């Protein structure tokens, strides 16, 4: 049986090629085999475009993938009876089961994305390139996408199967179906990102290339990866922090602006400025007004009776915001008024997300917005630099970076904030001050859960979450939180493949 350009996930067989010839084996005139597909430079470009397309999915890291990040945290969740009875509610309720179908879909989608990159990298040498430099660039893009998908997997599940080539037989799939240590996964992520960095990619993409990676984006991701390794792996903390600082500084020094305060916070999310805003480093691009490629996040987040996000009429509660986040904003924080609003409809009285807006006529009454999904921006880089400095024991430098973000938000300098008893009570340490600033700055950008698991051990995380008031958290039960919740359970069907090699995470 010939291999076709299909991209199923690891656990459902990545590519089959060893079946015996049978009467039913026919050549599909509408399909292109892998062997015959990669012939020209354009063939590779289309495959790379397909790899980027996989990022858009709500089952990977697209704009509507908050179920796997924001809704796992203390920022957002589901606070209605229907969700209470369903599988999505399990994420925020810390009652997640290995059989959860959303969990399995997320796992499979991440591996499907990796498979797309593996197919490209395994076959790129077969193609003839008119522009030789493009081979290097397309290879770098495929490695970047593979790296950020594995970064999602290793942070959420810990040890996971690691596959870096196209799998062509059931025997190859079986041989690759086992969990490898987190350190090995991170080593591959770093290798891919460093290979991508040593390419002919530009520091920043031109307008025509927005949505594709760049050296600034790769440096920023390398910094985040090394910071995560320093915080979560037992070995080489000092070296990993030094590397995090090196790559984050490299990204920061590439910026095309002076002070962060030059860029108004609202401009970062302005649909009309998404191609010109100098804070944006890497984003998933969406097309305003287009049925298939538009953004739906503005309309999806809007609560009934409101019009701030979209012209589409909402009949629901929109993007639910936890009172715990509302209570954490400092008085006068400009980011609060931009990011959240209280809906006062007769049937909906609750906080909802307003950070992503497109109420223009071009988005139509169907809510076909033009919002891009921002995956990396300079405020994130600056706050990571603050985090690195704090972990290295340089609080003076950490404060300098922290204040860059606070000044833009209309907040007093950190040295002044520390004289406020209310602030000091909530955030008595530099670590908690940085974590607070990241929460206020990056709310609903799929960062909060990763910030929590990077800053707290499993025991510390359970203690931190259980210290919150149940009333501010909603109907999801904080009492459910245990040390097991640092990681997601391995999907049940994956464990069944080989209970020894695909062993379950503790507590599930």
Q: Which two tokens stand for residue 477?
A: 């039960």
> What are the residues whose beta carbons fall under 8 Å from the beta carbon of 460, sequence distance 6 or more?
none
Tens of pLDDT, residue by residue over 173-186, are: 999 999 999 999 99
- Confidence check: pLDDT of 168 > 50: yes
Determine what percent of the chain is predicted with pLDDT higher than 90: 91
**pLDDT at site 21:** 35
CA 304 – CA 395 distance, rounded (Å): 45
The band of 14, judged by pLDDT with boundaries at 50, 70 and 90, is very low
Cα→Cα distances 316→220, 301, 341, 347, 445, Å: 37, 9, 15, 9, 21
Q: What is the pLDDT of residues 302-312, one digit of tens each?
A: 999 999 999 99
Torsion of CA 268, 442, 439, 407, to 10 degrees: -30
Domains 1-195 and 202-281+376-455 share a fold: yes
CATH code at 1-195:
1.25.40.390
- For residue 12, the model assigns a pLDDT of 40
First to last CA, the chain: 39
Residue spans per domain, the chain:
1-195, 202-281+376-455, 297-371
The model's pTM: 0.94
Residue 284: the pLDDT is: 98
Name the region of 384 (left: φ>0; alpha: ψ -120 to 50; beta: rest): alpha
Share of the chain above pLDDT 70, in %: 93
374 has pLDDT over 60? yes
Compute the distance between CA of residue 379 and CA of residue 405 in angstroms, rounded to an integer: 7
Rounded Cα distance between 485 and 456, Å, is: 12
Whether the Cβ atoms of residue 377 and residue 281 lie closer than 8 Å to each other: yes
Q: Is 358 helix (H, G, I), strand (E, B) or coil?
A: strand
Nearest Cα residue to 370 out of 309, 449, 460:
309
Return the sign of the alpha-carbon dihedral for residues 150, 152, 158, 160: negative
Decide if domain 202-281+376-455 falls under CATH 1.25.40.900. Answer: yes
Q: Mean pLDDT across the stretch 426-449? A: 98
3-state secondary structure 287-317: CCCCCCCCECHHHHHCCCCCCCCECCCCCCC
Tens digit of pLDDT for each residue in 453-465? 999 999 999 999 9
* Neighbour-count burial for 140-161, b at 16+ CB within 10 Å, e otherwise: bbbbbbbbbbbbbbbbbbbbbb
Give pLDDT, residue 30.
58
Identify the helix (H) or strand (E) that includes residue 502: none
Q: Report whether 449 contacts 61 (CB < 8 A).
A: no
């Amino acid at each position: 049986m010939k291999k076709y350009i299909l991209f199923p996930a690891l656990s459902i067989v990545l590519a089959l090629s060893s079946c015996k010839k049978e009467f039913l084996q026919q050549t599909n005139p509408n399909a292109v085999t892998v062997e015959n597909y990669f012939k020209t430079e354009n063939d590779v470009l289309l495959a790379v475009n397909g790899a980027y397309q996989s990022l858009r999915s709500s089952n990977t890291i697209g704009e509507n993938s908050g179920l796997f990040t924001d809704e796992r945290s203390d920022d957002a969740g589901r606070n209605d009876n229907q969700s209470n009875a369903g599988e999505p509610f399990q994420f925020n309720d810390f009652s997640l089961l290995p059989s959860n179908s959303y969990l399995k879909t997320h796992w499979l989608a991440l591996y499907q994305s990796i498979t797309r990159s593996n197919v490209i990298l395994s076959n790129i040498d077969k193609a003839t390139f008119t522009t030789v430099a493009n081979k290097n660039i397309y290879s770098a893009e495929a490695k970047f996408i593979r790296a950020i998908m594995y970064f999602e997997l290793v942070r959420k599940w810990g040890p996971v199967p690691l596959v870096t080539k196209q799998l062509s037989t059931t025997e190859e799939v079986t041989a690759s179906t086992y969990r490898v240590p987190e350190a090995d996964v991170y080593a591959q992520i770093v290798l891919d990102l460093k290979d991508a960095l040593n390419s002919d990619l530009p520091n920043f993409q031109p307008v025509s290339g927005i949505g594709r990676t760049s050296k600034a984006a790769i440096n920023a991701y390398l910094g985040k990866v090394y910071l995560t390794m320093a915080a979560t792996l037992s070995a080489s903390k000092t070296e990993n922090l030094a590397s995090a600082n090196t790559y984050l500084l490299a990204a920061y020094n590439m910026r095309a602006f002076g002070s962060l305060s030059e860029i108004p916070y609202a401009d970062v999310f302005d649909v009309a400025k998404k191609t010109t805003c100098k804070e944006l480093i890497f984003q998933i691009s969406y097309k305003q007004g287009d049925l298939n490629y538009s953004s739906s996040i503005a309309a999806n987040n809007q609560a009934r009776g409101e019009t701030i996000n979209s012209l589409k009429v909402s009949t629901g509660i929109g993007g639910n915001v936890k009172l715990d986040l509302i209570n954490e904003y400092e008085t006068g924080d400009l980011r609060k008024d931009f990011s959240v609003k209280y809906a006062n409809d007769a049937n909906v009285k609750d906080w909802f997300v307003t950070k992503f807006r497109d109420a223009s006529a071009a988005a139509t009454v169907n809510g076909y917005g033009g919002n891009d999904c921002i995956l990396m921006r300079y405020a994130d880089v600056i706050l990571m630099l603050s985090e690195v400095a704090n972990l290295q024991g340089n609080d003076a430098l950490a404060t300098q970076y922290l204040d860059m973000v606070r000044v833009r938000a209309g907040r007093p300098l950190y040295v002044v904030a520390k004289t406020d008893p209310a602030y000091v009570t909530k955030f008595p340490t530099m670590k908690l001050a940085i974590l607070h600033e990241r929460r206020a700055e990056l709310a609903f950008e799929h960062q909060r859960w990763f910030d929590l698991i990077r800053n707290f051990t499993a025991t510390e995380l359970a203690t931190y979450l259980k210290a919150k008031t149940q009333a501010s958290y909603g109907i999801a039960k904080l009492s459910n939180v245990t040390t097991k919740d640092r990681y997601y359970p391995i999907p049940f069907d994956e464990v069944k493949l080989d209970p020894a090699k695909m062993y379950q995470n503790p507590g599930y």
